Amino acid sequence: MEVCDKDEEGYFAEEDLSLCLGNGTEQDLLAGWRSAQSKLMNVSGGLETGGGIAIDPSLLPDLTVADDEVLVLTAAHIVVGKEYRLVGGYDSEGQLGRLHQGRVVYADSGLDLALVVAKTGDTSVRPASLNYYDLRKARPGEAVLAYAADEEERRLSVFSVQSNSSYGDVGGAAVRAAHPEVMVRDSAGVTLLSRPDSPGTSGSPLIASDGRILGLVSQRLPSRLSDSSEQSWTATVAIDADEIRRFLLAARSNLLSPR
């Protein structure tokens, strides 16, 4: 009998995806993963590595993106203020290809979102890209996939949406009231996931069973202080799909060419 090999944080190898999703409702995520995986990217800045998702350049018509370049949405804390920003795509087997230096073209650290442009290395290879219709709100209790990026391959895990609301009860203000160290601003729309993520997951999109994107992983939430000397974690905060939409519209306005 095959056994799903998960690490202590609940992540498993991409090659074990079908096995680890089992036969329940999580199995539906397999179709979502197959639909979204061609959009997924690897992004690193300094010593930090995370994920990202390719964005349709037509969303930012005043930004020049060459045929051999890709526009990527990722977590701002990975790339902002970093001397080196490397971006790479994955092949059909989930193996990371060559990394290329990227440049930040727009960022909002209060939302922990950034847009990076980088070479693809091959004009005939361009990843599929996200458009507005690929975004939707998460539903509480919904299962989503996220991945942790490293230098060789992705590791995947299933999360459950704990709550979701733009500027509502679980918005940035509510999260920061309990966790002042959270980087997102009070007005940010966030999605909370019911358990902590793994290092390398920042910037990973939340992938639903229909292949649509429900948010972008920002950071894990720490537990309240305890007698233990070791830091523990309770949940994960992601920037929600509505906020990503607003961010892209703001980028479009701010990147308008002078007339």
Beta strands in 90-154 (DSSP E): 100-108, 113-119, 143-148
User: What is the enclosing helix (H) or strand (E) of 168?
Assistant: none
Short-list 235, 217, 218, CA closest to 184: 218
The residue extents of the domains of the chain are 12-34+133-242, 37-131+247-254
DSSP 109: T
Q: pLDDT tens across 187-230, in order? A: 999 999 988 888 899 999 999 999 999 999 998 887 654 455 55
pLDDT at 150 over 80: no
Give the integer Cα–Cα distance in Å for 12 and 251.
35
Q: Name the least confident of 47-56, 89-98, 100-109.
A: 89-98
pLDDT digits (tens, 9 = 90+) for 237-254: 999 999 999 999 999 998
Question: What is the average pLDDT across 32-47?
Answer: 92
Q: What's the predicted TM-score (pTM) here?
A: 0.91
Cα separation values, 13 from 149, 193, 211, Å? 11, 21, 19
Architecture of the 37-131+247-254 domain: Beta Barrel (2.40)
Domain 12-34+133-242 coded CATH 3.30.43.10? no
* Cβ(114)–Cβ(73) below 8 Å: yes
